[in-house]
């Protein structure tokens, strides 16, 4: 793995300031690798939406809400653009106070992803581009 201390520091600082941080960039640029440095993939706080098991945890909005609301620390949702219906759920969670968790969402740089996240999470989201 290529060490990226500036990016790691930038993500950590963003997670202190914002409840939701979007790490975006083209495929294969290292987003997942960066996130794995913060949260282990075998942690209950790591959701890879390319994995059928993780994806199934978000099949129903209420199930997704229940899966996320009890977690603490940093919660990673990788490939979030695969489930744009999660953005309103994140908004509900972020608006709850106190929230013991921060969300690091990983996604592509597609305009659809950026539009969906900006609409649902306006004023709640900090974006870092790779």
Look at 115 and 59; give whichever has higher pLDDT: 59
3-state DSSP call for residue 22? strand
Provide CB contacts within 8 A for 90, sequence distance 6+.
20, 68, 103, 105, 120, 121
pLDDT for the residue 50: 92
Lowest mean pLDDT among 7-11, 50-54, 61-65, 106-110: 61-65
Sketch the domain layout of the chain as residue ranges.
Answer: 5-129
pLDDT digits (tens, 9 = 90+) for 114-126: 666 667 787 888 9
pLDDT for the residue 46: 93
Q: How confident is the model at residue 111 (pLDDT cuts 50, 70, 90)?
A: low
Percent of the chain past pLDDT 70, that is, above it, reads: 88
Q: Is the CA virtual torsion 25, 57, 10, 6 positive or negative?
A: negative
* Residue 67: burial class (beta carbons within 10 Å; 0-12, 13-18, 19+): middle
Out of 3.40.50.300, 3.20.20.60, 3.40.190.10, 3.40.30.10, select the CATH number for domain 5-129: 3.40.50.300
**Mean of the pLDDT values across residues 28-36?**
88
Look at 47 and 111; give whichever has higher pLDDT: 47
């Amino acid at each position: 793995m290529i060490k990226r201390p500036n990016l790691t520091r930038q993500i950590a600082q963003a997670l202190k300031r914002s409840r939701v941080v979007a790490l975006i960039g083209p495929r294969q640029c290292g987003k997942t690798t960066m996130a794995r440095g913060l949260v282990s993939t075998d942690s209950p706080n790591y959701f890879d939406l390319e994995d059928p098991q993780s994806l199934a945890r978000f099949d129903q909005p209420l199930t997704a809400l229940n899966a996320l609301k009890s977690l603490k620390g940093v919660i990673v949702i990788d490939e979030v653009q695969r489930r744009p219906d999660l953005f309103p759920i994140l908004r509900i969670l972020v608006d709850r106070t106190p929230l013991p968790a921060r969300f690091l969402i990983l996604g592509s740089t597609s305009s659809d992803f950026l539009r969906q996240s900006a609409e649902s999470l306006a004023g709640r989201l900090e974006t870092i581009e790779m």
